Amino acid sequence: MKIAEAPVDNAPALPRVRFRDARIEMSHGAGGKASRRLIEGLIAPLLGGPLLAPLADAAFLEVDGARLALTADSFVVRPLRFPGGSIGELAVNGTVNDLAVSAAQPLALLLTFVIEEGIATETLEAELRAIAEAARRAGVEIVGGDTKVVEHGKADGLYVTTAGLGRADLRARLSPRSVRPGDQVLLSGPIGDHGITILLARGEIDLEADLRSDTRSVYPFVEAILGVAASGLRWMRDPTRGGVATALNELARDSGLGIVLHEEEIPVREAVRGACELLGLDPLHIANEGQFLAVVAPELAEAALAAVRAVPGGGEAVIIGEVREQPARTVLAAASYGGTRVVDMLVGDPLPRIC
Amino acid sequence: MKIAEAPVDNAPALPRVRFRDARIEMSHGAGGKASRRLIEGLIAPLLGGPLLAPLADAAFLEVDGARLALTADSFVVRPLRFPGGSIGELAVNGTVNDLAVSAAQPLALLLTFVIEEGIATETLEAELRAIAEAARRAGVEIVGGDTKVVEHGKADGLYVTTAGLGRADLRARLSPRSVRPGDQVLLSGPIGDHGITILLARGEIDLEADLRSDTRSVYPFVEAILGVAASGLRWMRDPTRGGVATALNELARDSGLGIVLHEEEIPVREAVRGACELLGLDPLHIANEGQFLAVVAPELAEAALAAVRAVPGGGEAVIIGEVREQPARTVLAAASYGGTRVVDMLVGDPLPRIC
């Protein structure tokens, strides 16, 4: 019997693509289940090499002995300015925060602009000033960028893309796989402020509230945790698109463990709670731009919490839950009276273009 | 007489902004004079710190002993696909080339996508495959990115932003200020292919030609020059938006010297020459995506040229001119019959959105 030879083919194997949606819809950019399908089913298989970190906040690589973190995000928020911030400020803080929750010290940013023909120079100037000020506050250097202009009607005034370079903090080894039952889930402050602020700023719903985006750098809080609890720090994430629910569901899935939240401990401002009730939204699905989640070993959780609370702006940090063996790959919210509910990832896109 | 004390003010000084145009127009993104005014008059003063390299192709910084180059570019080319390439391929090669002409070895890329709602998945998939293939050919790793979706009508299918990280090659010290009279200007091959290909692909002019974009990585050529002539390599640039004329005018301005081109030595394909004549364009103003300019000390210019020509695809490289003391800050094109003309930077935007 003759064994057939394998066909000779020097071309790289075609990667397997599992994404079956015929068209790209808004939900594919919302940060929830559809985004995950797009990234895991199409983008990562096609672009992926050994270093690609498709869902992590930053990629790590070593160059001549330096341990670097790299990340990039595009910002398409509408409107460009809103209470508490603007697209330029988001573009700096969002990228700084992706580095921060990867336990990397943010060092340098590149900013690129896709500008709509005809926008007032003062609109662009205001964003440049917001960017410069946010970078100064976050302690990062802006080292370069690029500018393109597209015709009137293409782009809503301004899209901003930010790439960030950071220095990996060798004290921390973050991974969903290092998470253990008993670990505590720390949240840095009230959730949903950013998403609901954007929603209200669009004027599409008849509701007024004294609410501001929470956009800020979370690096000072991360630095504080690293100072006292680096050895017990397992995982961090800034819950932007898709909110706390989506971030924790990704952790549950990637760790194979369950997460039980003490729902009443989760800080939600009245205005956010009210808007969510009115619209049938869950605050756990609403985007944040200045909060982060950290999973910390139980023996260091109180020290981590105290460290975050000691940093200005960290006073509302709280332990919102813990990791359990069961129910595996699931996030549960438990109420004090004993009821529990399953908290799912964001599905669809109830609040498009919030960052 | 009492000397008045300086007023106490701890806020950072407001940077001086010289840009006076009331609105952003297409020409501000075209890479010529208006782009330079926008960058030098508004963006650089507001964002600038000591590391900002507003008009250079890449910024350099040192992290823990590693000498790094960073660059980012947004791509908004219309149409998305054209003979010889596509937006995804441009997005890889454009950023790789910005690193290459900064004498940095391209290592890693981040890709972010702003996708128009409703585009066919196969359109996105084709670009992802083009990106993966271009990255493989250029020897760079894709390490991460981001995806946003905007409503139908906002964005023309797809905008792509690429950030790149490279390792600075310590053999070269490139700067307009190191350029000296007598230095030779090397060009890697025929000019204008990319810009005219895009123009024809839009079908707006009644002209057919067998022409393809020149998009490719120029790093192999740069590496070849560095191997034989690094000590004499003064300056490099990839003449994209604004073309060879704009790149050399920037060099003339920044070095304070003159550049005299042997116009008949500059390779221009018949199809490009024909289209330019028809449209009243100068091939020296047309964008390239796979060529580069290098200024080399006279004693090493022939070695550099031979090295480029020995690399596949480099056979059409040529010395197109030289640096002179006079006319200062000016680019001249000399014809063999003795006439000369001043070659200015690109003004306006005859070919919008070519990258």
Q: Which residues of A touch B37 (CB under 8 A)?
A: none
Indicate whether A160 and A224 sit together in one domain.
Answer: no
Do the Cβ atoms of B63 and A65 come within 8 Å? Answer: no
Q: Do residue A108 and residue B70 have CB atoms under 8 angstroms apart?
A: yes
Query: Is A64's CB within 8 Å of B167's CB?
Result: yes
CA B55 to chain A, closest CA, distance in angstroms equals 8
Are A121 and B74 inside 8 Å of each other by CB?
Answer: no
- According to DSSP, the residues that pair with B63 across neighbouring strands are B66
Does residue A267 sit in the same domain as residue A188? yes
Min Cα distance B208 → chain A (Å) is 26
Distant-in-sequence, close-in-space partners of B124: CB < 8 Å, separation ≥ 6: A24, A42, B113, B115, B158
Residue B220 pLDDT class (50, 70, 90 cuts): very high
Q: What is the ipTM of this complex?
A: 0.93
- Considering only CB atoms, which chain B residues are within 8 Å of A72? 72, 110-112, 144-146, 161, 163
Asked if residue A29 is part of any domain, the answer here is no
Across the interface, whether the CB atoms of A114 and B76 are under 8 A apart is answered: yes
Q: How sure is the predictor about A12, in pLDDT bands with cuts at 50, 70 and 90?
A: low
Check residue B12 and give its pLDDT. 55
B347 token code pair: 């003004």
Closest listed residue to residue B353, CA positions, set B21, B29, B17, B7? B29
Span A239-259, average pLDDT = 97
Least confident piece of the model among A45-49, A84-88, A310-314, B316-320 = A45-49
Does the beta carbon of B53 lie under 8 angstroms from any beta carbon of chain A? yes
Return the residue in B40, B57, B63 with the most chain A beta carbons within 10 A, the one to mutate for interface testing.
B63
Give domain status of residue A31, yes or no: no
Q: Do residue A117 and residue B155 have CB atoms under 8 angstroms apart? A: no
| Cα–Cα distance for residue pair B95/B166, rounded to 1 Å | 10
Confidence tier at B1 by pLDDT (50, 70, 90): very low
**Contact residues, chain B, for A65 at CB < 8 Å:** 64-66
B334 touches chain A (CB under 8 A): no
User: Quick one: pLDDT at residue A148?
Assistant: 95
pLDDT at B107 exceeding the cut of 70:
yes
Q: Residue A336 half-sphere exposure, CB side, CA atoms within 13 Å?
A: 4
Shared domain for B246 and B310, answered yes or no, is yes
| pLDDT tops 70 at residue B10 | no
Interface of A with B in 223-282 (CB under 8 A): none
pLDDT at B349 over 90: no
- Does B327 lie in the same domain as B233? yes
Q: Which residues contact A110 (CB under 8 A, 6 or more apart)?
A: A142, A143, A144, A145, A162, A163, A164, B59, B70, B71, B72, B163
Quote the tokens at residue B355: 């990258």
What's the token pair of residue B44?
Answer: 């650089």
Residue A26 has pLDDT above 80, yes or no: yes
Please indicate, yes or no, if residue A43 is contained in any of the structural domains: no
- Tell me whether residue A138 is in a domain: yes
pLDDT band at A350 (very low <50, low <70, confident <90, very high): confident
**End-to-end Cα spacing for chain A:** 63
Closest approach of chain A CAs to the CA of B341, in angstroms?
30
Q: Do B29 and A147 touch (CB under 8 A)?
A: yes
Q: Which of A43, A72, A132 sits opposite B47 (nearest CB)?
A: A132
Percentage above 90 pLDDT, chain A: 86
Q: Is the backbone peptide bond immediately before B106 cis, with ω within 30 degrees of 0? A: no
User: Each residue of B251-302: pLDDT tens digit?
Assistant: 999 999 999 999 999 999 999 999 999 999 999 999 999 999 999 999 999 9
Residue A160 has pLDDT above 90, yes or no: yes
A209 and A319: one domain?
Answer: yes
Using DSSP's 3-state secondary structure scheme, residue B132 falls into: helix
Residue A5 has pLDDT above 50, yes or no: no
Q: Which tokens belong to A148? A: 């393109």
What mean pLDDT value characterizes chain A?
A: 93
What pLDDT does A207 receive?
Answer: 85
Q: Which carries the bigger pLDDT value, residue B6 or residue B21?
A: B21
Residues B208 and B145 in one domain: no
Q: Do B262 and B186 belong to one domain? A: yes
Residue A72 C-alpha, separation from nearest chain B C-alpha, in angstroms = 5
Q: Are A106 and A199 in contact (CB under 8 A)?
A: no
Measured between CB atoms, does A61 come within 8 Å of chain B?
A: yes
Look at residue A158 and tell me if it is in a domain: yes
A239/A259 same-domain check: yes
The 3-state DSSP class for residue B318 equals strand
Distance from CA of A325 to the nearest CA of B (A): 31
| pLDDT bucket at B6, cuts 50 / 70 / 90 | very low
The CATH number given to whatever domain includes residue A286 is: 3.90.650.10
Residue A352 lies in a domain: no
| Chain A stretch 137-196, residues whose beta carbon is closer than 8 A to a beta carbon of chain B | 141-151, 153-156, 159, 161, 163, 165, 167
> Domain range for residue B223?
176-342
Residue A29, CA distances (Å) to A37, A78, A192, B277 in order: 11, 14, 18, 45
Residues B181 and B266 in one domain: yes
Q: Could you give the CA distance from residue A350 to residue A286 in angstroms, rounded to a whole number?
A: 9
| Choice among A45-49, A79-83, B147-151, B301-305 with the minimum mean pLDDT | A45-49
Are A149 and A188 part of one and the same domain? no
By CB atoms closer than 10 A (0-12, 13-18, 19+), residue A22 is exposed
Question: Model-level pTM?
Answer: 0.94
Residue A27 lies in a domain: no
A70 with B163: Cβ contact below 8 A: yes
For residue A75, pLDDT beyond 70: yes
Q: Which of A103, A133, A168 is where one domain is finished? A: A168
More confident call, B310 vs B49: B310
Q: Are A62 and B141 in contact (CB under 8 A)?
A: no
**Would B311 be classed as within a structural domain?**
yes
Instruction: Burial-class residue A333 by CB neighbours within 10 Å (0-12, 13-18, 19+).
Output: buried
Is A151–B28 a contact, with Cβ atoms under 8 angstroms apart?
no
**Segment B179-207, tens digit of pLDDT:** 999 999 999 999 999 999 999 999 888 88
pLDDT tens digits along A119-149: 999 999 999 999 999 999 999 999 998 999 9
Tell me what the pLDDT averaged over chain B comes to.
93
Q: Clarify whether residues B98 and B80 are in a common domain.
A: yes
> Does A4 lie at the interface with B, CB-CB under 8 angstroms?
no
Residue of B65, B131, B144 lying closest to A70 (CB–CB): B144
**Closest by CA position to A47, among listed B143, B147, B124, B119:** B143
- CB half-sphere exposure, A245, CA atoms < 13 A: 22
Chosen domain end from B143, B168, B193: B168
Cα gap B285→B262, rounded to integer Å? 16
Boundary of a domain, candidates B151, B168, B185: B168
Inter-chain CB pairs, A–B, below 8 Å: 294
What are the tens digits of pLDDT across the range A180-200? 999 999 999 999 999 999 999
Strands A330-334 and A258-262 turn out to be: parallel
CATH of the domain at B60: 3.30.1330.10
What is the number of other CB atoms lying within 10 angstroms of the CB of residue A270?
A: 10
Residue B50 vs residue B227, higher pLDDT? B227
- The predicted-structure confidence for A327-346, as pLDDT tens digits, reads as follows 999 999 998 888 999 999 99
Determine, for residues B121 and A56 on separate chains, whether the beta-carbon distance falls below 8 Å: no
Q: What is the pLDDT of residue A8?
A: 40
Is residue B129 less than 8 Å (CB to CB) from chain A? Answer: yes
Q: Are B25 and A67 a contacting pair at CB < 8 A?
A: no
**How many domains does chain A divide into?**
2
Residues A116, A219 within the same domain: no
Alpha-carbon torsion A92, A94, A97, A98, what sign?
negative
**Secondary structure percentages of chain B, helix, strand, coil, to 5:** 35, 25, 40
Identify the pLDDT of residue A14: 55
Q: Which of residues 20-39 of B touch A (CB under 8 A)?
A: 21-30, 35, 38-39
Q: Give yes or no for residue A2 having a pLDDT over 90.
A: no
